[in-house]
Structures are given as structure tokens and as C-alpha cells.
């Protein structure tokens, strides 16, 4: 992969030099020159697509090791019916990100919630306003309904519908947009193959049972991840997503005062960190306990940066793991990675270098997560609006 990148850089420099030389030619050749440059640009694009594909398919150091793991997905599935699909996602995502640069974290979590429940089938988007007022959709099963990014995916999907009505699935839109958002936020690039289709239903009960909870112990967490085919190392790696984004104090308040009914704070929190967290979370404790529904904006949030020992702004690095080594994990589920010998060993591995190992593994884990239980071929459907299934006749 590194080698390929180097080759790509070399090629880009080469193309750059050529275009400089071309631009020095005589005015009479301007038309000719423009055509040539366009041709070069096309070549460059083709080449970068080729590189993506190569890096995706190569077994050594590559991200996908076998056709098996593709589950029927294809490279550039929309090449015929909507060749501009991926560039529409990329440019719309970039526009959204430029106005709201924490959107990447919302999407990353949204993808996790979608893919963990019956696969990456966009079931997480389905709304209960479609006749089902029983609050029995996945969206309602998320701890305190704090998923973000649904509206943004709707925006991207709308652009796709304008260009190619009824072609690109919501599930692919989410997978592609999340990948692009991760890259925009400084995370590693990973290849996304396409051809996912959308579910016709939502799975409330599964979401209640199978989405890991912030206070789950390590046994339960490993169990839930292993049901999705993730081993211990991959589980430790995926939780590294918590090196970015924010966490509401609601999810950690019990750790600070009365942990699982013991009347004591959680003993696995470092004492200094305990004080920092109490300070950071005290503002909202009164509003939350009098039963008023606090709006998202007024809820105290802890940014992953608080637990960080590195300068803020650093992202997708390994400070998450370095903090776990010091008892400075935000959620109980985070700190529990130190409670098991094997997972603690992987924490130490990820904490030990400049973040390269974490990022490399994270690319692989994200590919694997993005391909979980996908619907392809004639399964499922392609929704026009991500919140509503198309009525089957
Ligand atoms: C044991 C498994 C996990 C549990 C219990 C868990 C729980 C949580 C909770 C409670 C929050 C705070 C939400 C809020 O306050 O709004 C959160 C945030 C987040 N989670 Fe997880 N999570 C888990 C695994 C993952 C995985 C596998 C990923 C992605 C690969 C992920 C990505 C994120 C991100 C990016 C945020 C920040 C969201 C934002 O800033 O809006 N989490 N998680
Ligand atoms: C609502 O959901 C609950 C639990 O899933 C179920 O027992 C109940 O029958 C449902 N009610 C309606 C009107 O669908
Ligand atoms: C971990 O959690 C599970 C499920 O909540 C529970 O059954 C188990 O006893 C817990 N294990 C430990 C060691 O606390
Ligand atoms: C979710 O919100 C409810 C009430 O709004 C609160 O009592 C509860 O502690 C919250 N749960 C978590 C895990 O934050
Ligand atoms: C801690 O929580 C338990 C169970 O929720 C409760 O019975 C107990 O009174 C609480 N202790 C304190 C000191 O608040």
C-alpha cells in the first residue's frame, strides 16, 4: 500500500511537470493543449481508480483478503447506471463537512449502529411516522436516541436522486459518506465496494439486545462483537473510534457517583480523572435529574479531547489507548478493555507506536464492518427516501 502511494505521488509529480511544460507552449497551441490536458486528467483519474482497486484487492498488506469478504459487493457497482454517484457523495459530504466538521463522528457511529443490526442495510434510518407509531424502530432503541447524521445522509441521497433516481441505495450512501467523512476528519482511507441494498423493515428488538451498551462489561462486549465476526483485536480496534467525537455526561454520570448501586464511584476511573470528569459534568446534573427533557444542546458533553494528553486537534491517533492505560477511559465499556488480559494486551500494542498500527487495522475493521450482512442482488430494495420503505406490491 505504502509502495503504491509512493508510486501515485511520483505519477502525480510527473503529471504536474508535464502540464507545466504544456502550459509553456505557444498560444496557437492552446486548444490542442487543453485537449491534451483533459486527456491527462482523465488518465490520472483512471489511474487513481486503478490504484484504489489494486490496494483493495491485493492480498499482501491489502485491506480485503478474499472475494468472500465482499459478500456480493462489487468494485464501482454504479459505473453503468450512475457513474457520478461516488463523486456526488464525496462533493456533497465535503460541503456538509465544511459547515459542520463534527459530522464525521456522528456518521461513524451511525454506520456502526446500522451495520451491527441485521447488516449494513440502512435499517437504522426507517422512521416510525410511517403508520407505525409504536416506537418500535431501531432509531428509538439507541441509548437516549443520540444518533446524529440522519439528516445529512438524506441530503446526500437527495442529490443522488436528482442525478439518478432510484439507483443508489441508502445503505451505499451511508457507507460511502462515512468513509469520505472519516478521511475528511483525518482518518485513514479505506476502499468501499458497492451494491448494498436497503431493508424493508427496521429491527427494534434486535437493536435493544445486540447493540452494546455503555456500561457493558468486557465479557458482554466481546460476546456481542464476536457474534458479528469480530475477534478480540478487532473489537479493541473498533472501539478506537472513540478517539474522536463527544459523549454526553448522561452516559458516565453513574461512574462518578454511584456505580451500579454500590454507592461508590467506579473504581476503575483514575482519581484525578474522576475529579476532572465531575467538574466537566456538574453543570448539567441538576437539569437532568428534575425530569425535564434537556435538549441536546444543553446537555453537558465531554469531548474525547478532555481525556487526551495530546494537543487538541490531533485526530484518529492512539491517545484513546494511551488513556486507557492510565485509567482515563470515558465510558465504562472503554475502560473495560483493560479488564481482560487479551484485550489489555491489544490496548498496549495500539498505544505503543505513533498510531500507525491503530490506523492500519482501523481501515481493515471499517471495511469489514461496512460489509456486514449486506443485501445484494435481488434482496431488499432501493429506497427513494431513506426514512421510508417502498411499499412492496
Ligand atoms: C461497545 C461498543 C460501543 C458502545 C457501548 C458505544 C457507546 C457510545 C456512546 C454511549 C456514545 C456517546 C453518544 C452521545 O453521547 O451522543 C458513543 C459515541 C461515539 N461512538 Fe460509540 N460505542 C461503541 C462502539 C463504537 C464503534 C464500534 C464505533 C465506530 C466504529 C463507535 C463510534 C462512536 C463515535 C464516533 C462516537 C461520537 C459520536 C458523536 O460525536 O456524535 N462506537 N458511543
Ligand atoms: C407495540 O410493541 C409492543 C412491544 O413490541 C407490542 O407488545 C405491542 O403489541 C405493540 N402495539 C401495537 C399497537 O403494535
Ligand atoms: C458481565 O455482564 C453479563 C451480562 O450483563 C453478566 O451476565 C455477567 O455476569 C457479567 N460478568 C462479570 C464478570 O461481571
Ligand atoms: C437516558 O435518559 C434518561 C432520561 O432522559 C435518563 O434517566 C438516563 O439516565 C439516560 N441514560 C443514559 C444511559 O444516559
Ligand atoms: C445508589 O444506587 C442504589 C441503586 O440504584 C440506591 O439504592 C442507593 O441508595 C444509591 N446510593 C447512594 C449513595 O445514592
**pLDDT (tens digit per residue) in 127-179:** 865 555 556 677 777 765 679 999 999 999 999 999 999 999 999 999 999 99
Non-local CB neighbours of 134 within 8 Å, separated by 6+ positions: 128
Residue 391 banded pLDDT, cuts 50, 70, 90: confident
260 lines ligand 5 (CB under 6 A): no
- Find out whether 224 and 274 touch, Cβ atoms under 8 Å: no
For 177-231, where are the E strands, in sequence order?
Answer: none
Does ligand 5 lie within 6 Å of residue 261's CB atom? yes
Give the fold, CATH level 3, of 229-370: Peroxidase; domain 2 (1.10.420)
CB under 6 Å to ligand 3: residues?
A: 217, 219-220
Task: Please tell me the predicted confidence (pLDDT) of residue 139.
Answer: 78
Q: Render pLDDT for 40-71 as a digit per residue (tens, 0 to 9).
A: 556 555 545 544 555 555 434 445 545 666 78
Question: Please, where in the chain does CATH 1.10.520.10 lie?
Answer: 85-208
Over residues 309-365, the pLDDT tens digits come to 333 445 789 999 999 999 999 999 999 999 999 999 999 999 999 999 999 999 999
Q: Would you state the pLDDT for residue 292?
A: 32
Ligand nearest to C-alpha 261: 5
Cα distance between residue 393 and residue 390, in whole Å: 9
Is residue 212 annotated as involved in ligand binding?
A: yes
User: Which residue has the least CA distance to atom 8 on ligand 4?
Assistant: 250
**What is the residue-averaged pLDDT of the chain?**
82
Does pLDDT of 214 surpass 60? yes
According to CATH, the topology of domain 85-208 is Peroxidase; domain 1 (1.10.520)
- What confidence tier does 208 reach under pLDDT thresholds 50, 70, 90? confident
The pLDDT > 90 percentage for the chain reads 60
Burial of 55 (0-12, 13-18, 19+ CB in 10 A): buried
Please write the tens of the pLDDT for every residue from 260-292: 999 999 999 999 999 999 988 875 444 443 333
Residues present in the chain in total: 393
As beta bridge partners, residue 223 has none
**Range list for CATH 1.10.420.10 in the chain:** 229-370
Q: Return the best residue to mutate from 288, 302, 330, 331 for the ligand 4 pocket (most ligand atoms within 8 A of CB).
A: 288
DSSP 8-state assignment for residue 337: G
Residue with CA closest to ligand 3 atom 14: 217
More confident residue, 176 or 392: 176
Q: Given pLDDT bands bounded at 50, 70 and 90, which one contains residue 100?
A: very high
Which of 186, 241, 250, 299 to mutate for ligand 1's pocket (most ligand atoms within 8 Å of CB)? 241
Amino acid at each position: 500500500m505504502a509502495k503504491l502511494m509512493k508510486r501515485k505521488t511520483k505519477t502525480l509529480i510527473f503529471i504536474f511537470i508535464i502540464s507545466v511544460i504544456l502550459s509553456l507552449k505557444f498560444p496557437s497551441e492552446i486548444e490542442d493543449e487543453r485537449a491534451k490536458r483533459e486527456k491527462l486528467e482523465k488518465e490520472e483519474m483512471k489511474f487513481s481508480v486503478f490504484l484504489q482497486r489494486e490496494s483493495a484487492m491485493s492480498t499482501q498488506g491489502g485491506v480485503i483478503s478474499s472475494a468472500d469478504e465482499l459478500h456480493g459487493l462489487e468494485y464501482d457497482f454504479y459505473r453503468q447506471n450512475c457513474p457520478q454517484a461516488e463523486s456526488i457523495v464525496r462533493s456533497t459530504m465535503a460541503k456538509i463537512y465544511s459547515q459542520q466538521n463534527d459530522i464525521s463522528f456522528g456518521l461513524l457511529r451511525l454506520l456502526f449502529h446500522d451495520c451491527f443490526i441485521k447488516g449494513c442495510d440502512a435499517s437504522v434510518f426507517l422512521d416510525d411516522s410511517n403508520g407505525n407509531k409504536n416506537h418500535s424502530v431501531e432509531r428509538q432503541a439507541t441509548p437516549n436516541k443520540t444518533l446524529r447524521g440522519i439528516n445529512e445522509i438524506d441530503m446526500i441521497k437527495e442529490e443522488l436522486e436528482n442525478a439518478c433516481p432510484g439507483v443508489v441505495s441508502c445503505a451505499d450512501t451511508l457507507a460511502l459518506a462515512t468513509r469520505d467523512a472519516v478521511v475528511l476528519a483525518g482518518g485513514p482511507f479505506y476502499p468501499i465496494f458497492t451494491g448494498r441494498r436497503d431493508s424493508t423493515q427496521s429491527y427494534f428488538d434486535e437493536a435493544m439486545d445486540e447493540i452494546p451498551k455503555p456500561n457493558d462489561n468486557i465479557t458482554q462486549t466481546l460476546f456481542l462483537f464476536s457474534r458479528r465476526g469480530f475477534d478480540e483485536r478487532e473489537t479493541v480496534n473498533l472501539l478506537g473510534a472513540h478517539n474522536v467525537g463527544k459523549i454526553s455526561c448522561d452516559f458516565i454520570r453513574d461512574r462518578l457517583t454511584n456505580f451500579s448501586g454500590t454507592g461508590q464511584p467506579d473504581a476503575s476511573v483514575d482519581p484525578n480523572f474522576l475529579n476532572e470528569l465531575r467538574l466537566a459534568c456538574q453543570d448539567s446534573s441538576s437539569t437532568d435529574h428534575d425530569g425535564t427533557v434537556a435538549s441536546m444542546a444543553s446537555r453537558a458533553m465531554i469531548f474525547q479531547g478532555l481525556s487526551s494528553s495530546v494537543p487538541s486537534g490531533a485526530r484518529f491517533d492512539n491517545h484513546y489507548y494511551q488513556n486507557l492505560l492510565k485509567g482515563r477511559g470515558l465510558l465504562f465499556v472503554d475502560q473495560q478493555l483493560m479488564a481482560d488480559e487479551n484485550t489489555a494486551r491489544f490496548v498496549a500494542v495500539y498505544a505503543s507506536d505513533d498510531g500507525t498500527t491503530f490506523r492500519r487495522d482501523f481501515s481493515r475493521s471499517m471495511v469489514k464492518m461496512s460489509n456486514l450482512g449486506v443485501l445484494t442482488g435481488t434482496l431488499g430494495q432501493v429506497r427513494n427516501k431513506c426514512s421510508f420503505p417502498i411499499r412492496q406490491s
